[in-house]
Amino acid sequence: MNSTPHPSQTVERVSSFTDEELDDLCEATDAAIIGGGGFGWVNPPGRQALERYFRGLLLVPERELFVVRLDGRIVGSGQLVRPPRNNEAQAFAAQLMHAFIAPYARGHGLARLLTLRIEDGARALGYHVLNLDVRETQAAAIRLYEGLGYIRWGVHPAYARVAGKTIQGVHYYKLLQPGGRIAP
């Protein structure tokens, strides 16, 4: 009989954080950047830049920050981005951006849990479609999103530059509301 306790796993939307939580978030972000992605930065920008980024993010009305905790410590995050008010034509769709789990916390199903929680948040706000994109080199993320029913609609041939190489990006969408469809 295995008596090893399972680690606690939670995903929550945050509107503020303590200094310790901000330290955890910056550490996880640095680790994810060094580990190859999920956040957009290629090289860690430094602690002050990350702290300013996350503090500023909480002030942006169209963005909601979700954090992932493993045994109470923040080990990843993702953002639900709503369209700006002046974009009435795309007001039905939100975007999942900058989702990552620190390499030292992978293998627990946290990326799946984060994605599902962000989907629930988008649904609760009345969005019908959730869009996202990833680097073509992020095979685990691609498997996750395709396994969760995201539909690949395109490939951008010059999506990102990493280490002097141009990398393709893959674009996805998912219908969020029951019976949802996209009419031509």
22-36 pLDDT, tens per residue?
Answer: 999 999 999 999 998
Q: What is the pTM of this model?
A: 0.91
31-40, 127-136, 163-172: range with lowest mean pLDDT: 31-40
Of 5 and 115, the structure prediction assigns the larger pLDDT to 115
Residue 128 confidence (pLDDT): 94
27-41, 70-84, 92-106, 161-175: range with lowest mean pLDDT: 27-41
Mean pLDDT for the chain overall: 92
Architecture of domain 9-175: 3-Layer(aba) Sandwich (3.40)
Strand 129-135 and strand 165-175: pairing? antiparallel
List the one residue out of 109, 24, 112, 113 whose CA is nearest residue 75.
24
For the cut 90, the answer to whether the pLDDT of residue 113 exceeds it is yes
* Mean pLDDT value across residues 77-83: 97
Residue 181: pLDDT band with limits 50, 70, 90: low
φ, ψ for residue 41 (rounded to 5)? Answer: -70, 145
